[in-house]
């Protein structure tokens, strides 16, 4: 005979309001332009499938870093070789996104990030401003010092 014992645990769920982000900016850096183009297509298609609003997909100017070295270790200062590293960028901006949706989207695109690529994510939250009533404005004018 086999006895199966189940232990039940009480799980308390606390519902917190989901954070809202004004913009979610994803900056992707890479050395291969073709891979970067393919990844931009993947990220924008994933955003469309999740129903996110793509505000802007831009291509900032590439960064070129050059390094000049002598061909020979000892002499022949005239003979040099020059190496350059090009870093291409893509900036994907998504507007008006909730925190849970942003988390799902970012996890998906980070898991599919190709090798040799870097990603920077910037989240800009909504700033809630308190509305003033007429009484608050009059108090503000009373507290404001007189200008000369």
What is the C-alpha to C-alpha distance for residues 148 and 146, in angstroms, rounded to an integer? 7
State the maximum Cα–Cα separation within the chain, in Å, rounded to a whole number: 95
For residue 104, what pLDDT is reported?
94
> Residues 26, 119: contact at Cβ < 8 Å?
yes
Q: How far is CA 56 from CA 41, 42, 78, 92, 106, in A?
A: 13, 15, 48, 6, 17
The pTM assigned to this predicted structure is 0.70
The model's pLDDT over 70-95, given as tens digits with 9 standing for 90+, comes to 888 887 788 889 999 999 999 999 99
DSSP lists the bridge partners of residue 95 as 23, 53
Mean per-residue pLDDT pooled into runs of 10, the chain (148 residues)? 60 77 94 95 94 92 93 83 94 93 94 94 83 53 45
Start-to-end C-alpha separation, the chain: 95
DSSP result, 104-144: HHHHHHHHTPPTT-EEEEEEEE----PPP-HHHHHHHHHHS
What is the C-alpha to C-alpha distance for residues 139 and 148, in angstroms, rounded to an integer? 20
Treating both helix axes as pointing N-terminal to C-terminal, what angle do 99-111 and 33-49 enclose, rounded to 10 degrees? Answer: 150
Q: How far is CA 106 from CA 26, 87, 90, in A?
A: 9, 22, 15
């Amino acid at each position: 005979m086999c006895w199966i014992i189940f232990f039940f645990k009480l799980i308390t769920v606390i519902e917190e309001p989901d954070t809202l982000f004004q913009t979610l900016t994803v900056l992707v850096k890479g050395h291969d332009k073709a891979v970067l183009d393919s990844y931009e297509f993947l990220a924008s298609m994933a955003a469309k499938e999740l129903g996110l609003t793509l505000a802007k997909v831009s291509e900032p100017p590439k960064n070129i870093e050059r390094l000049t070295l002598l061909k020979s270790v000892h002499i022949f200062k005239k003979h040099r070789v020059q190496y350059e590293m090009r870093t291409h960028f893509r900036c994907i901006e998504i507007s008006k996104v909730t925190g849970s949706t942003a988390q799902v989207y970012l996890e998906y695109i980070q898991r599919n990030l190709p090798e040799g690529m870097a990603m920077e994510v910037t989240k800009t939250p909504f700033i809630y401003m308190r509305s003033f009533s007429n009484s608050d404005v009059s108090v503000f004018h009373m507290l404001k010092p007189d200008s000369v």
